[in-house]
Structure 1
Amino acid sequence: MKLKSTLLLAALSAAALLATPAAAQIGKRFPSERKVVKDPVTGTMLTFLTSTPSGDSKIYQTHNQWTSDGHWLIFRSGRVPGEAMAVNEKTGEMVQVTEGGYTGMLNIGRKSMKLYFMRNPAGTTRENPATSVQIIEVDLAKVFADSKAGKMQAPSVYQRVCGTTPPEMGAGGDMALDANEDVVYFRVGKAEAAKHLAANTKIESNFGPRNMGAGPAGLASMNLKTGEFKHVVSVPFQIGHVQTNPWVPGEIVFCWETGGKSPQRTWTVLADGSGLRPLYPEASYEWVTHEAVITRDEVAFALMGHRKINFNKDGATASNQASDPRNPGQEAGWGESGTREKPTGLGIVNLRTREVTIAGQTPSGSGLWHVSGSADGRFAVGDDFSRSLYLIDRQTHEMLMLTTGHKETAADHPHPTFSPDGTRIQIQSAMLSADNKSMNICIVPVPESWLKRTYKEKGK
């Protein structure tokens, strides 16, 4: 289900392998491109923080997007190949916040003005890939202050190497920052993962037509202050979408990544390796995807209803349409799943009680696809195959289309993420792109009338 996402991230990560141009300096400022555009269908006023075809894309919706002071959003961009950018939400000014490249996921502190990511060591090329990765910390407050003053110093003043992974660990890919912001968690390679599996463990093979999902895989952690590494857990399948609970230290959520339908998509585990379990135990006919921690106790996910029901002498079977690179998941090879023969929609599972609710679902079309929710528990949001964005009031289950027309030909999907205060949603959009592909960073407001709503207590 994340074909375009995977290809885009791979391209950006590959760019980070290349030598950074000499002019690509941390703290470099770029002029504002901020534009406010009225959605021609819904009337919602959209704030585009970037508006030129420069290869912009937001951080994945499993991770924080805003700096802890609430002023800046960090994003990936082709403006400076292989480097991360920040844009001021009010002024639109942009600042380069890394120098030397990055690979994988960008992690922004919610408590501190810090940025964490992996970096391939100097000299890494496509022909000479890295066997170890550095874990880097950036002092964003110092970068922004010195950039504004026009007095930037050496990159080492702003960037610190927290540690370097051992070559045998095979570290890379997804990385997530613990709620206490003193530890990061990341994937390790098959050889390292196998060392920590019981001898009789059945290793899973690839699942589905994408030929992904085979194990084993594992997670490890590194203490950002001491550099100490610890193994967290090993599993017999491919791991993807590693994320943490931003409010509960040591709580990790990840998935069995197949590029589409998984036998059991969502998983959770604690930092000491205990508590490993399926987060939402799914049935074979359910297509679960794009899980994201949204509150202290809840994870949102999509129960997809994107495939047609075909009727024949054997009963109802899943669609066997040809693959659509814009809207994947139609191939017969995924099995009988993802149809509306069973309940579908934006699901929310409670990490403590394990109870599941359906917040809402579109009446037709693909159904909700990439999902998020406000930290106060009031709202949920999801996009669909048409790249339309739907807001859901979790108390009343009312749904409202906020914006549409973001072009199915875009380089990636909207991937909505709520702001920490729950008043607005960040997406990536090709609405302004002449080539119908290049994306920009866009902010969608929650309607003021929805924010002012009050609710009576149940039973009164």
Structure 2
Amino acid sequence: MHRTAISRRQFIQRAAAGSAGMLAAGGLAANAFGASGAGEFSIPRDIYPSYVDEKTGATVLNLTPGDHADSITYQTHPMWVDGGRYFMFYSDRSGNGSRPHLLEVATGTVKPVPLNDYSRSTLSWTTPRLYFINKDGIGAVDVVGGFKGEEPARMFGKVPEVFTSLQGTISLDADQKSLYVGGIVGENDRSAIYAVDTETGAAREVTAFDFKVGHIQASPFEPGLIMFCHETGGDAPQRTWRVRADGSDFGPVYKETFDEWVTHEVWWSKDRVVFTIWPYDEVHTL
């Protein structure tokens, strides 16, 4: 894969410039990558605390005010729903620990997603469905329907029994027909990725390998293409990997050298990913 290097400052400036344009206009344009649904809407500024960023001039809105432990979805997975009209985040504001919550942006109303229990979850990029693992079961719920009290969760599958423990994230294929699940299947962190059919629950192995799997990311642009990482909690000898849903084309996404610490990879477009090359201290240690 061809590498194009930009500095952290350049990346932040480019991202800030794009977001500043949207917020300065008083609205947020939705697209297929990052917000399910379509259309354009305006965020009502009068109901959210805000400030103006000194560097960019952008108005920054606090969508989740209050004394709660709130966190956003990791940057590898979607968090906006229905063209940006809803925003999903995790919070302890409803009790029972951190749970997924849905914010109705137009009103500021927040409600917990109606799940009794879950360990992993991911939104669809294009629909309001949240896919989740509940103990050994796999299911889905329409979060907007649940917000309105209209849509119960639907269980459609089981976690493959081959896993001794689940690892990393779950991720939905771009065609929404398969949910990818990863975990440990053998000694010395031998791992596998399985595809679970979102209608029938049938599970099949995609690939297996001799390192701990992490950050499974199905491409939101191309069905059947999966990126994942060698998870070490630090620097891996080769961080980023890819595979097709049929098990073919297994190999590095970006083949790194010994002096590169690659991390925080995420899909950027159909044929590009963005990642960080982390700086080392004076002693090059893993």
- Asked whether the two chains share a fold, i.e. TM above 0.5, the reply is yes
Q: Which residue of 2 aligns with 1:327?
A: none
Q: Which residue of 1 aligns with 2:142?
A: 139
Q: Calculate the TM-score normalised by the size of structure 2.
A: 0.77
Q: Calculate the TM-score normalised by the size of structure 1.
A: 0.49
Q: Which residue of 2 aligns with 1:76?
A: 90
2:63 to 49, 56, 73: 49
Query: What RMSD over aligned residues (CA atoms) do the two structures have, in Å?
Result: 2.1
Aligned pairs for 1:48-127 (under 5 A) are 48-80=62-94, 81-104=97-120, 106-120=121-135
2:215 to 233, 241, 254: 241
> What's the offset of the Cα at 1:33?
7.2
* Identity within the alignment, %: 31
8 Å Cα contact 2:164-2:183 kept in structure 1: yes
Which structure would you say has the larger Rg? 1
What are the ranges of 5 or more consecutive residues in structure 1 without an aligned counterpart? 1-31, 121-132, 147-151, 195-213, 309-318, 321-331, 335-460
Aligned amino acid, residue 273 of structure 1: G
> What's the offset of the Cα at 1:260?
1.4
Aligned amino acid, residue 77 of structure 1: S
Q: Which residue of 2 aligns with 1:172?
A: 166
Aligned pairs for 1:315-326 (under 5 A) are 319-320=282-283
Q: For the residues of structure 2 that align with 1:301 and 1:159, how far apart are their CA atoms?
A: 35
1:163 to 157, 166, 170: 157
> What's the offset of the Cα at 1:118?
1.1
Q: Which residue of 2 aligns with 1:323?
A: none
Q: For the residues of structure 2 that align with 1:111 and 1:241, how far apart are their CA atoms?
A: 20
Number of equivalenced pairs: 238
Q: For the residues of structure 2 that align with 1:303 and 1:166, how far apart are their CA atoms?
A: 34
SS in 2 for 1:64: coil
> What's the offset of the Cα at 1:161?
0.7
Q: For the residues of structure 2 that align with 1:40 and 1:92, how far apart are their CA atoms?
A: 26
Give per-residue Cα distances to partners, 1:75-107, cap 9 Å, x unaligned.
111113242101123332212113212112x31
> What's the offset of the Cα at 1:283?
0.3
Q: For the residues of structure 2 that align with 1:279 and 1:40, how far apart are their CA atoms?
A: 37
8 Å Cα contact 1:135-1:164 kept in structure 2: yes
SS in 2 for 1:143: helix
Aligned amino acid, residue 85 of structure 1: H
Aligned amino acid, residue 220 of structure 1: Y
8 Å Cα contact 2:102-2:143 kept in structure 1: no
8 Å Cα contact 1:219-1:231 kept in structure 2: yes
Q: For the residues of structure 1 that align with 2:133 and 2:165, how far apart are their CA atoms?
A: 9
**Is 1:296 matched with 2:270?**
yes
Q: Which residue of 2 aligns with 1:218?
A: 192
**Is 1:333 matched with 2:285?**
yes
> What's the offset of the Cα at 1:227?
0.7
Aligned pairs for 1:269-308 (under 5 A) are 269-304=243-278, 306-308=279-281
8 Å Cα contact 2:90-2:99 kept in structure 1: yes
SS in 2 for 1:69: helix
Aligned pairs for 1:387-426 (under 5 A) are none
